[in-house]
């Protein structure tokens, strides 16, 4: 069990480090023209949205629904949407802009818990899920960092925040392995709740930032993001 716990924490750490890595990628924008910078921003936002949709459709909902009776799965999903509507409204009233950060958090932590629980059952699938999480976190870290920096947050403090967030992954994986692996209903409820919250944030805050007049590449970014998640899902068999 100790070896499995160490493996879970290592995999979750490697997956989580792509969050600050995605944030660091924003520094390469400095040499771009304003038009290219805007196009890149919209493309990566759409790509991250596609990756989040793939997380809902291919990981969180299927795995969560498998662990819950249908009625409870639907209720947990709806509750996630309602709760994050209330949180989003509260943050808007306070002038906060962190919707993509919340979506990233909702995606990463439940998946890290599922990673820990899966490691005790199927190591090969768990390794592939960790790789999928890492690839999803990269554009999500990029988007969340840009959103928060453009609304006044310090770049250095955000990098530190994202590093700390990456370290939450190993803790979540340990909880998934040691606790939720024996409580499949609780893990399923967490995954369904997170799915509802992510879907709300996608349509409320992320998707409206994607469209640009006379540009067709951002919607293709969403397709590419979902393709990434689909490739990882199919690779797990």
- The three-point CA angle 102-103-104 to 5° equals 90
More confident residue, 106 or 19: 19
Rounded CA gap, 234 and 170, in Å?
25
Q: Using the predicted structure, report yes or no on whether residue 172 has a pLDDT greater than 60.
A: yes
Least-confidence region, from 50-64, 151-165, 177-191, 213-227: 213-227
Q: Using the predicted structure, report yes or no on whether residue 25 has a pLDDT greater than 70.
A: yes
The residue count for the chain: 237
- E-assigned strand segments in 46-168: none
Contact (Cβ atoms closer than 8 angstroms) between residue 156 and residue 213:
no
Rounded CA gap, 175 and 224, in Å?
32
3-state secondary structure of 93: helix
Report pLDDT for 72.
Answer: 92
Report pLDDT for 159.
Answer: 83
Q: What is the dihedral of CA 185, 191, 192, 197, to 10 degrees?
A: 150
> Mean pLDDT across the chain, nearest whole number?
77
More confident residue, 68 or 33: 68
Report pLDDT for 8.
Answer: 87
Report pLDDT for 97.
Answer: 59
Taking alpha carbons only, the member of 42, 153, 166, 69 closest to residue 112 is 166
Q: Residues 211-217: what's their mean pLDDT?
A: 54
The pLDDT confidence band at residue 75, using thresholds 50, 70 and 90, is: very high
Q: Using the predicted structure, report yes or no on whether residue 153 has a pLDDT greater than 70.
A: yes
More confident residue, 44 or 18: 18
Q: Residues 182-188: what's their mean pLDDT?
A: 86
Contact (Cβ atoms closer than 8 angstroms) between residue 108 and residue 22:
no
Phi and psi angles of residue 93, each rounded to the nearest 5 degrees, phi first: -65, -30
Report pLDDT for 206.
Answer: 61
Give the sign of the dihedral formed by CA 10, CA 55, CA 193, CA 104. Answer: positive
Sequence-distant (6+) residues with CB within 8 A of 178 are 5, 116
CA 77 → CA 48, 74, 150, 194, 208, distances in Å?
21, 5, 31, 7, 22
3-state secondary structure of 178: helix
More confident residue, 122 or 116: 116
Taking alpha carbons only, the member of 214, 196, 213, 202 closest to residue 60 is 196
pTM over cut 0.85 = no
């Amino acid at each position: 069990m100790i070896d499995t716990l160490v493996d879970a924490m290592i995999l979750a750490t490697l997956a989580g480090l792509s969050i600050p890595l995605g944030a660091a990628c924003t520094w390469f924008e400095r040499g771009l023209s304003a038009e290219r910078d805007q196009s890149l921003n919209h493309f990566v936002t759409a790509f991250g949205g596609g990756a989040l949709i793939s997380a809902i459709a291919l990981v969180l909902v299927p795995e969560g629904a498998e662990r819950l009776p249908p009625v409870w799965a639907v209720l947990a999903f709806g509750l996630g949407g309602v709760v994050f509507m209330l949180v989003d409204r509260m943050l808007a009233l306070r002038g906060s802009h962190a919707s993509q950060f919340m979506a990233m958090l909702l995606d990463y932590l439940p998946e890290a818990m599922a990673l820990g629980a899966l490691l005790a059952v199927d190591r090969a699938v768990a390794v592939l899920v960790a790789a999928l999480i890492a690839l999803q976190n990269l554009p999500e870290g990029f988007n969340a960092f840009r959103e928060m920096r453009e609304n006044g947050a310090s770049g250095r403090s955000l990098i530190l925040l994202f590093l700390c967030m990456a370290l939450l992954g190993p803790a979540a994986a340990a909880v998934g392995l040691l606790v939720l692996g024996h409580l499949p209903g609780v893990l399923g409820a967490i995954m369904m709740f997170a799915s509802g919250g992510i879907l709300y944030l996608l349509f409320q805050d992320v998707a409206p930032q994607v469209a640009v007049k006379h540009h067709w590449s951002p919607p293709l970014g969403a397709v590419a993001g979902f393709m990434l998640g689909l490739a990882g899902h199919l690779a797990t068999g």
